Amino acid sequence: MRILVQKFGGTSLSSNEARELVIGHIQRERQRQYGLVVVVSAMGRKGDPYATDTLLSLIRRHGDSLPPKEQDMLQACGEIISAALMCSLLRAANIPAIALTGGGAGIITDSQFGRARILEIRTEAVHKALKDGNVVIVTGFQGVTEAGEMTTLGRGGSDTSATALGAALHAERVDIYTDVNGILTADPRIVKDARPLPVISYAEIGNMARQGAKVIHPRAVEIAQQARIPLRVRSTFSEDEGTLVTDTFDAARAAVRDRHVTGVAHVSGVTQITVQAQDGHTDVQLQVFQAMARHQISVDFINVNPGGAVYTVFDHDADKAVSVLQEIGYSPKAVSSCAKISVIGGGMNGVPGIMARIVEALTEQGIPILQSADSNTTIWVLVSESYMASALQALHAKFSLHE
């Protein structure tokens, strides 16, 4: 049986009209004779009645009194509501369907509640339901431990459920349905003329996702890449086929090779920390990063030099990072509310002049670069968050990404 996994995000399920469109996408693929596994997120976004953030707000006012295991029980409810609702809608449309929880679909995870990792997927139940002719609806974002406790996979976890199921079931493809027409050259909320990319490589979208393009979760991309399963990212609200993620087709490879820059991505809410070596301290880098690790402060954008180190932490870790450094005798400088901007392109390796054009684009707008770094597929710059939107727009225009 040819299996297709379809994943529908929160906005795709948030209204009657949207759910009708979802039914249409399921019906269309069913007519193409696919065995369908439909992974659903919780309905809507923050503020909507059954969205994950809304469920969590029920307990926030009680501080941190609910242990992680019980928090996962609460968080898992949004997807369960979606799955049951979609099952009833499909049946009402005379499409045979059953709904399974993550555990019911055989998704076994470790017991890191709130950010569990999938260990294994036991596919018997899904295979049987498909063989019986059902559309199999699976709750995204969740699994179960060997001991039968519910777990959740962390933000964006439904994408991971979808590609992990796709890999375990040897699906022909995984389609991620969302509220934009595919993977765009930038976040359309910030860059209005961002354009959908017809094809993109796993490496490029993996990179964009890790650097803040939240259209798909990076872990989901890794799993699809390892299993060599093509992904499509497309809109629930149009018939447009969106973006194909693949390394396979020559055409795709050529398209990726021919462009130097594929897209821009951003992460906001970071603090730049500069630490200078003190007299008598010869091992500043070692001391600094060991101290960060000891206090579980995650660090990024690291530049070290003989005189010290510059790096970033999330704004919410900044006060802690500074006091930890002061305790071990340093006087760090902290610049909060920065944004890390990434210019990404599988074809930029060895092409001269990309950095020059980035500097040009930002200088023309009077945007100071606080820090930069590069690899063979990405150049990163750190700017003040107040310049984030104009920096993204300027870079997007400089590399003609709207064309």
Q: How many residues bind ligand ADP (CB under 6 A)?
A: 19
Specify the DSSP element, H or E, that contains 272: strand 263-276
**Greatest distance between any 2 Cα atoms in the chain:** 77
Q: Which of residues 347-376 bind ligand ADP (CB under 6 A)?
A: none
What is the x/- site pattern for Mg ion, positions 153-172, by CB under 5 A? ---x----------------
189 is in an annotated binding site: yes
Among 32, 61, 62, 189, binds ligand ADP (CB under 6 A): 189
104 is in an annotated binding site: no
Question: Is 52 an interacting residue with respect to ligand ADP (CB under 6 A)?
Answer: no
Residue with tokens 């006012």: 61
Question: Is 187 an interacting residue with respect to ligand ADP (CB under 6 A)?
Answer: yes
188-196 long-range Cβ contacts below 8 angstroms, 24+ apart: 190/266, 190/388, 190/389, 190/392, 190/393, 191/264, 191/392, 191/393, 191/396, 193/396, 193/402, 194/396, 194/401, 194/402, 195/401, 195/402, 195/403, 196/240, 196/242, 196/243
398 is in an annotated binding site: no
Q: Which of residues 246-305 bind ligand ADP (CB under 6 A)?
A: 263
User: Using alpha carbons only, how large is the chain's radius of gyration in Å?
Assistant: 23
319 is in an annotated binding site: no
Question: Is 179 an interacting residue with respect to ligand ADP (CB under 6 A)?
Answer: yes
Out of Mg ion, ligand ADP, none, which partner does residue 186 contact, by CB within 5 to 8 A per kind? ligand ADP
**Half-sphere exposure for 1 (CA within 13 Å, toward CB):** 19
8 is in an annotated binding site: yes
Is 10 within 8 Å of 41 (Cβ atoms)?
Answer: yes
Is 107 within 8 Å of 70 (Cβ atoms)?
Answer: no
301 is in an annotated binding site: no
Q: Which of residues 198-217 bind ligand ADP (CB under 6 A)?
A: 208, 213-215
What is the x/- site pattern for ligand ADP, positions 11-30, by CB under 6 A? xx------------------
Residues in the site for ligand ADP, rule: CB under 6 A? Answer: 9-12, 41, 178-180, 183-184, 186-189, 208, 213-215, 263
